[in-house]
Amino acid sequence: MAEEGEWSANANDALNIGLVRPTDAGLKAIATFNPRFTYPIFGNEEQIFGYKGLKINLRYSANDMRPHVQITSKEKFKAIGDTEPTDIRAVLQEHLPAIAFSSVKDFEASVQKTTEEWKPPGELHTSFETQDGTYEIRKGSLTDPAIHQLITRVEIFVPLFIEGGSYIARDPEAADPWKVPEDAARWTVFLLYRKQPVADDAAQSPYTFVGYSTIYRFFYFQAPSPPASPAADWELPKGDFEITDLPCRTRLSQFVILPPFQGKGIGARLYKSIFEYYLANPLAMELTVEDPNEAFDDMRDLSDLTYLKTVPEFAQVRINTDINVPDDSSKAVPRDIVDSDLLDKLRRKTKIAPRQFARLIEMHTMSQLPASVQPSFGVDKKAKPTRAEAHQYRLWRMFAKQRVYRQNKDILGQIDLPERREKLNEALGSVELEYARLLAAHERWEKHYGPSSSNGKRKSVDEAEGQGLSKKARVEDA
């Protein structure tokens, strides 16, 4: 029997994804790219057994994102007993709708039929201009058949590009995994398209799919103010009502920008638009993000910090240096190192999730520290801090350390006090460096985009996505 390695192909390399448009000479690829991950589809080793010269072409019509799978190889392994080639088609059928496995002829005919009259599903939410065209953000519900169809076509990008990402538009355990899910009314979908006329064919649709995001609504219980009596029982409103008519806590679940469009600030514009929509929605009490990856975290931090600086009350946030620090470290940490009432009102007004809000406040108050004590990556010698400067820094560390401890108390509570203090200080040191990196990135962005442009309008933070931040792994998930 031949060596197994001869018949194994790297799934990330074998799978090629393309966006195509029609031309008189046939379909033309306008973008091609490979996935970041394939282990959710082909297993942890990301290997496909049984082929030589394997190519899996997953082509999409650039506008309606109709998919088509074509599998070719130079040679296929002949089964020996229980050892047989991976059934690639069967594997992909669990992740793509049936239309992806139609004939090449049907797919190409469908792409050729798309005209300039085609428009993306959903209602136009907003649009913006960049150097490479007009971008439209469209919004709709997963209950809309056209939006559900589109999401079932593109949702494979979630496991291919988001580590740990999961599907929302299909249920693999259901008899019909592709039917509209029962909780579809809770899902809002934001679609991002580039609108740019095709230079050599005005009859073609000008739309190109760029990415999308999905938002889930949780019911948000608001405690009565003033509090109700202990005997009072809260009841749901009587009669029929829509879930969309109730106060909610929203969770950003999926956020995908296709690789050809990354690094242009486009994703940050989409995030900013979503944030502003829910900020203005009186029924939305809070916007959270589900398990963000590091690249998204950076974009979110820069965008949120920039937004907070536009809120007047944010300028009042600072360390209260009038507080005395106890000499005995065993005593309780002073209260209101930063005005807690102000922070509570500000967080509710901005609808930022508690953990994210706390990080931004720590970041902001760290930026206010004197240069002699402010954490940084710099190697330049700093001036010796004054007594007042050292006091301010100590207060900031106590303030930040409270959250770090609360977030890791289950682990820290299991170790002895001396080691606990050491681990807590190590974690806080990592947080300091993380904040220093983000503050430096934010300062660079403000210097680059802060001045008014020629039309008198300030450029938006979402362009910071293209700054190419080099992120180090976090010791503490700040």
Distance CA 196, CA 129 (A): 11
Tell me which amino acid residue 153 is: R
> What single string gives the DSSP state of each residue in 225-246?
SSPPPTTPPP-PPSS---GGGS
Per-residue 3-state assignment (H helix, E strand, C coil) for 422-450:
HHHHHHHHHHHHHHHHHHHHHHHHHHHHC
Q: Let me know if 10 is exposed, middle or buried by CB neighbors in 10 A (0-12, 13-18, 19+).
A: middle
Q: Determine the pLDDT at residue 223.
A: 62
Distance CA 250, CA 188 (A): 10
Q: Determine the pLDDT at residue 241.
A: 58
Q: Do 91 and 164 lie in a common domain?
A: no
Q: Determine the pLDDT at residue 147.
A: 98
Q: Do 147 and 171 lie in a common domain?
A: yes
Q: Determine the pLDDT at residue 175.
A: 82
Residue 236 included in any domain? no
Residue 23 included in any domain? yes
Q: Do 136 and 101 lie in a common domain?
A: no
Q: Which one of 67, 82, 113 terminates a domain?
A: 113
Q: Determine the pLDDT at residue 105.
A: 96
Distance CA 137, CA 191 (A): 6
Q: Determine the pLDDT at residue 293.
A: 84
Residue 69 included in any domain? yes
Residue 305 included in any domain? no
Residue 256 annotated as lining a ligand binding site: yes
In this structure, are residues 27 and 67 in contact, taking their beta carbons and an 8 Å threshold? no
Q: Determine the pLDDT at residue 459.
A: 41
Q: Do 267 and 384 lie in a common domain?
A: no
Give the CATH number for residue 274. Answer: 3.40.630.30
Q: Determine the pLDDT at residue 326.
A: 76
For the annotated catalytic residues, the residue numbers are 290
Q: Do 128 and 264 lie in a common domain?
A: yes
Residue 454 included in any domain? yes
Q: Which one of 113, 145, 177 terminates a domain?
A: 113
Nearest to 320 by CA among 301, 305, 342, 304: 342
- Produce one character per residue of 258-292: b if its CB has 16 or more CB atoms within 10 Å, e if not: bbebbebbbbbbbbbbbbebbeeeeebbbbbbeeb
Q: Determine the pLDDT at residue 171.
A: 79
Distance CA 31, CA 261 (A): 10
In this structure, are residues 84 and 52 in contact, taking their beta carbons and an 8 Å threshold? no
pTM: 0.87
Q: Do 138 and 285 lie in a common domain?
A: yes
Residue 231 included in any domain? no
Q: What is the pLDDT along the chain (478 residues), one digit of tens a residue?
A: 456 678 999 999 999 999 999 988 889 999 999 999 999 999 999 999 999 999 999 999 999 999 999 999 999 999 998 899 999 999 999 999 999 999 999 999 999 998 888 999 999 999 999 988 899 999 999 999 999 999 999 999 999 999 888 899 887 778 888 899 999 999 999 999 999 877 666 567 899 999 999 999 998 876 655 555 555 565 655 666 566 778 899 999 999 999 999 988 899 999 999 999 999 999 999 999 998 888 899 999 999 999 999 999 999 999 999 998 877 666 677 888 999 999 999 999 999 999 999 999 999 999 999 999 999 887 778 889 999 999 999 999 999 999 998 888 888 878 888 888 888 899 999 999 999 999 999 988 676 544 443 333 334 444 334 333 333 322 222 2
Residue 238 included in any domain? no
Residue 88 included in any domain? yes
Nearest to 111 by CA among 177, 32, 22: 22
Distance CA 115, CA 205 (A): 5
In this structure, are residues 400 and 375 in contact, taking their beta carbons and an 8 Å threshold? no
Residue 49 annotated as lining a ligand binding site: no
Q: Do 287 and 320 lie in a common domain?
A: no
In this structure, are residues 272 and 250 in contact, taking their beta carbons and an 8 Å threshold? no
Number of domains, the chain: 3
DSSP bridge pairs for 233: none
Q: Do 105 and 128 lie in a common domain?
A: no
Q: Which one of 43, 78, 113 terminates a domain?
A: 113
Three-state SS at 8: strand
Residue 293 annotated as lining a ligand binding site: yes
How far is CA 308 from each of CA 70, 285, 302, 347, 446, rounded to the nearest angstrom?
48, 17, 10, 10, 14
122 φψ region: left (φ > 0), alpha (ψ -120 to 50), beta (else): left
Q: Do 215 and 327 lie in a common domain?
A: no
Distance CA 215, CA 274 (A): 9
Give the CATH number for residue 75. Answer: 3.90.360.10
Domain that holds residue 384: 312-467
Q: Determine the pLDDT at residue 145.
A: 97
Q: Determine the pLDDT at residue 471.
A: 32
Q: Do 325 and 433 lie in a common domain?
A: yes
Q: Do 256 and 280 lie in a common domain?
A: yes
Q: Which H or E run includes 274?
A: helix 266-280
Q: Determine the pLDDT at residue 473.
A: 26
Radius of gyration of the CA atoms of the chain, in A:
26
Q: Determine the pLDDT at residue 1.
A: 47
Q: Do 287 and 188 lie in a common domain?
A: yes
Residue 255 annotated as lining a ligand binding site: yes
